[in-house]
């Protein structure tokens, strides 16, 4: 049940914006349709077969969407309109039912409709998360971010910063949103949304993992994103400059850590080789005798 609900706002977001290119839309759909919260992705391997898979599941997603359009399109459109209107009331009313009710009044729909939403507060936060992801993707696709001139660590920092800046208007109410996302009933969806975001960021950064495990990378970036998000809540510096410093330091740490790991693995290799060769020498000597 939660799964289908979690999917819904994203689908409406995709419906609302027709600017996505076909492959991206296909990959989004395939993600939205996946059943599991965790390893629902194969490690990215930008080779042909995977691209084929994506297109396949994407077209399935499209037909699914068309079906939904025929059946309950009005309801979903109204819901998306209402949630969009409700976002305007979040600053005053928080991520609450009151904001939803105010949003319903704005678009001239009876607030009784709010009663038909399951997990009433979460639906608004989830809509916002999906909307931000969509905006980020649009930005990446339009090339506004000028990522190609930057090195990998700067690209990651810029993408995370761009995404977090979308939360600035709601920063005073963001702790409430986080606590809603952390409720057990909402955890599955919020976790999925975060993995999708991190995945999108890695993808946009153009990193093709060859030297480090894909899941490790995703976990580390997720950690950086979440800690920066938390830091931002209590940051009162002008234009959140402390937050961006913090973010850059965390990314640098992660890259240093990667280097440390590499050096350690070289050391282990060298020691292993040394031990191996001396053992070999010892065995040879024993057999010569």
Partner 1 sequence: MALRASTWKLQKSLSALLASSRLHTHATSFGFKEVHEEEKSKMVGNVFSSVASSYDLMNDFMSAGLHRLWKDRLVAKLHPFPGMKHLDVAGGTGDIAFRVLESINSVSHSALRCGVTDEVEGGSRIYVCDINPKMLSVGKKRAAERGIDGSPVLQWVEGDAEALSFPKGSMDGYTIAFGIRNVTHIEKALSEAYRVLKKGGRFLCLELSHVELPIFKELYDYYSFSIIPAMGEVVAGDRDSYQYLVESIRRFPKQEVFAKMIADAGFQKVEYENLVGGVVAIHSGLKI
Residues 22-61: x where in contact with partner 1 by CB under 8 A, - otherwise, as a string: ----------------------------------------
The residues in 67-106 that bind partner 1, with binding defined as CB under 8 A, are 72, 74-75, 78, 92-94, 96-98, 101, 104
What's the CA angle centered on 60, arms 58 and 65, to 5 degrees?
Answer: 95
**Sequential DSSP letters for 51-74:** HHHHHHHHHHHHHHHHHHHHHHHH
Nearer residue to partner 1 within complex by CB, 78 or 165? 78
What's the CA angle centered on 205, arms 200 and 208, to 5 degrees?
Answer: 95
What's the CA angle centered on 12, arms 129 and 39, to 5 degrees?
Answer: 55
How many other CB atoms sit within 10 Å of the CB of residue 45? 12
| Contact indicator for 194, 201 with CB cutoff of 8 Å | no
How many other CB atoms sit within 10 Å of the CB of residue 177? 22
Residues 195-234: x where in contact with partner 1 by CB under 8 A, - otherwise, as a string: ----------------------------------------
Residue 60 C-beta: closest distance to partner 1, Å: 24
Residue 98 C-beta: closest distance to partner 1, Å: 6
Q: Is 184 in the site for partner 1 (CB under 8 A)?
A: no
Q: Is 111 in the site for partner 1 (CB under 8 A)?
A: yes
Only one of the segments 9-17, 51-59, 114-122, 135-143 lies at the binding site for partner 1 (rule: CB under 8 A); that segment is 114-122
Rounded Cα gap, residues 3 and 163, in angstroms: 24
Residue 116 C-beta: closest distance to partner 1, Å: 5
Residue among 112, 146, 151, 286 that touches partner 1 (CB under 8 A): 112
- Measured CA to CA in angstroms, residue 42 lies from 45, 50, 266 at distances of 8, 9, 28
Residues that bind partner 1 (CB under 8 A): 72, 74-75, 78, 92-94, 96-98, 101, 104, 108-116, 120
């Amino acid at each position: 049940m939660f799964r289908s609900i979690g999917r819904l706002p994203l689908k409406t977001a995709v419906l609302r914006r027709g600017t996505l290119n076909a492959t991206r839309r296909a990959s989004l759909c395939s993600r939205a349709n996946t059943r599991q919260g965790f390893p629902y992705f194969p490690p990215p391997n930008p080779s042909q077969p995977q691209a084929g898979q994506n297109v396949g599941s994407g077209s399935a997603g499209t037909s699914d969407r068309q079906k939904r359009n025929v059946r309950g399109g009005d309801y979903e459109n109204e819901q998306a309109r209402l949630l969009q209107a409700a976002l305007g009331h979040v600053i005053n009313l928080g991520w609450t039912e009151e904001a939803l009710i105010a949003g319903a009044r704005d678009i001239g729909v009876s607030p009784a409709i709010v009663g038909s939403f399951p997990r009433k507060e979460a639906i608004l936060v989830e809509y916002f998360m999906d909307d931000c992801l969509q905006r980020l993707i649009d930005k990446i696709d339009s090339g506004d971010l000028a990522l190609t001139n930057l090195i990998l660590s700067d690209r990651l920092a810029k993408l995370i910063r761009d995404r977090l800046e979308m939360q600035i208007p709601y920063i005073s109410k963001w702790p409430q949103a986080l606590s809603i996302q952390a409720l057990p009933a909402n955890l599955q969806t919020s976790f999925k949304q975060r993995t999708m975001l991190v995945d999108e960021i890695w993808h946009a950064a153009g990193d093709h993992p060859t030297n480090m495990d894909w899941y490790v990378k995703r976990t580390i970036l997720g950690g950086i994103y979440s800690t920066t998000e938390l830091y931002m809540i209590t940051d009162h510096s002008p234009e959140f400059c402390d937050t961006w410093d913090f973010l850059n330091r965390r990314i640098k740490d992660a890259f240093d850590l990667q280097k440390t790991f590499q050096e350690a693995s070289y050391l282990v290799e060298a020691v292993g080789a040394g031990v191996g060769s001396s053992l070999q020498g010892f065995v040879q000597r024993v057999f010569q005798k």
